[in-house]
């Protein structure tokens, strides 16, 4: 995909995210508790971080393979690229956040969960 198209995609999702944050701030200012739509933020920012760094590294050509203070942008894109997958797991994985958005924001039916009523210490694991 051409870089300009990527740029337009990032801009559109950043704008959407800004509006979602305003919705959260409005709820807080009215003394309300922000809803599950806050889960949208981490999916967008973590995936966008990975995408932007990937594109930046590609644009750096051979420099993209290296990191360190003497590299373009002090190696910031390389370091952030390595961190981004962790961010997609920490504090709720992409998949779990998508489940929350699907079920609690969009009102879609839940996945089948055969162990839903089983206490945690009785779950089969390992
Ligand atoms: C960088 C980093 C920092 C962290 N910091 C902390 C911290 O400070 N404190 C702390 O307590 N924990 C921390 N964690 C742990 C983190 O919260 C867990 O790794 C995360 O919640 C996922 O849980 P899990 O590793 O048990 O994966 P699992 O729950 O075993 O999930 C494994 C995979 O299955 C998918 N999956 C699981 N259940 C479902 C489902 N119902 N539907 C669809 N897909 C599903 C997940 O998306 C994932 O891909 C950190 C993790 C990372 C990577």
Q: What is the 120 CA–ligand 1 centroid distance (Å)?
A: 16
Question: pTM (2 decimals)?
Answer: 0.86
Q: What is the 53 CA–ligand 1 centroid distance (Å)?
A: 23
CA angle 14, 40, 30 (to 5 degrees): 95
Q: Give, for all 126 residues of the chain, the pLDDT tens digit.
A: 688 999 999 999 999 999 999 999 999 999 999 888 889 999 999 999 999 999 999 999 988 888 887 888 889 999 999 999 999 999 999 999 999 999 999 999 998 888 889 998 998 887
């Amino acid at each position: 995909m051409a870089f300009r198209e990527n740029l337009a995609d990032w801009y559109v999702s950043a704008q959407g995210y800004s509006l979602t944050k305003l919705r959260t701030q409005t709820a807080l200012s009215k003394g309300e508790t922000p809803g599950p739509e806050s889960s949208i933020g981490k999916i967008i920012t973590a995936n966008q971080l990975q995408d932007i760094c990937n594109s930046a590294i590609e644009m750096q050509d051979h420099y993209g393979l290296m990191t360190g203070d003497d590299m373009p942008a002090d190696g910031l894109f390389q370091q952030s690229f390595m961190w981004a997958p962790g961010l997609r797991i920490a504090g709720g994985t992409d998949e779990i956040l998508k489940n929350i958005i699907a079920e609690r924001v969009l009102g879609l039916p839940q996945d089948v969960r055969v162990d839903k009523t089983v206490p945690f210490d009785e779950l089969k694991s390992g």
